Structure 1
């Protein structure tokens, strides 16, 4: 019996040591994840982890500048001696689109309600709510195809993958009577 108990006890001791080591590793990973999340949240607020720990934080306007800057950002679409002004919304996809400007694209008619153009570079859709119901005047991004969409008429069916980038502020009527493709130059308005 002694020879039978000894291997069992040995395997129990080894198993418990292994489980203790695994549990310790999991606790370290959880602690590290919590610290990283705190650092990430602090850096999003413009404060580094060191600054938040020692109380010497400085005011950072990085995120505030981004929000304020998007408040009055407009783009101009120029085609056939016409101009359309779009007031851009503040979201990561809009910011990604603005980073690509100036841009010249060819818009094609799609289902008699929108003009579309597939972008050469897809836009970021991380942390953006999609699934919007488009309306006349919306300047949008359809993520499955990677295309811009300018709605010149209302659209009855919603899609789950549509992200509204902005809204036409002036010149909606310039799209109403355009048949076929058109080349559009898009740039930021100062």
Structure 2
């Protein structure tokens, strides 16, 4: 599934995988969020509700450009740097790695996430 993130006014095309969590995330779109920095590795934001974790692996090793859901906290994470394996992390999809520079540039980043037509 194709989605679009508008990061600081710049549109970025992204792709969601076919997991239950990604489909549940897509059902919440459109979303207006403010992503805040976490550990100089990712930007995070709370979602309106928790996502389905049905059939999800116990964790994942995120790479720069991964769009993920951290089930223990119920938040969205967009990684702009690689990070070690994390229990409870579910990869939802990818943004182009070139877009990660925009995320790393500021502590808080306004983003709109919507279905791409």
With normalisation by structure 1, the TM-score equals: 0.58
**Aligned-partner Cα distance in 2 for 1:168–1:114:** 13
In terms of fraction of residues, the more helix-rich structure is 1
- Conserved in 2, the CA contact under 8 Å of 1:130 and 1:161? yes
Which structure: larger Rg?
A: 1
Equivalenced residues, count: 116
Is 1:185 aligned to 2:91, yes or no? no
Q: How do 1:128-139 residues align onto structure 2 when only pairs under 5 Å count? A: 128-139=56-67
Aligned position for 2:29 = 101
- Conserved in 2, the CA contact under 8 Å of 1:82 and 1:174? no
Is 1:121 aligned to 2:49, yes or no? yes
Aligned position for 1:14 = none
Aligned position for 1:74 = 2
- Structure 1 runs of 4+ off > 4 angstroms? none
**Aligned-partner Cα distance in 2 for 1:180–1:148:** 16
Is 1:158 aligned to 2:81, yes or no? no
- Could you report, residue by residue, the CA deviation over 1:106-139 in whole angstroms, capped at 9, with x for unpaired residues? 1100000100001120001112223110111100
- Conserved in 1, the CA contact under 8 Å of 2:79 and 2:100? no
**Aligned-partner Cα distance in 2 for 1:125–1:95:** 11
- Conserved in 1, the CA contact under 8 Å of 2:35 and 2:109? yes
- Conserved in 1, the CA contact under 8 Å of 2:21 and 2:92? yes
Match of 2:14 among 51, 68, 86: 86
With normalisation by structure 2, the TM-score equals: 0.92
Unaligned runs of 5+ residues in structure 2 are none
Secondary structure of the 2:59 match is coil
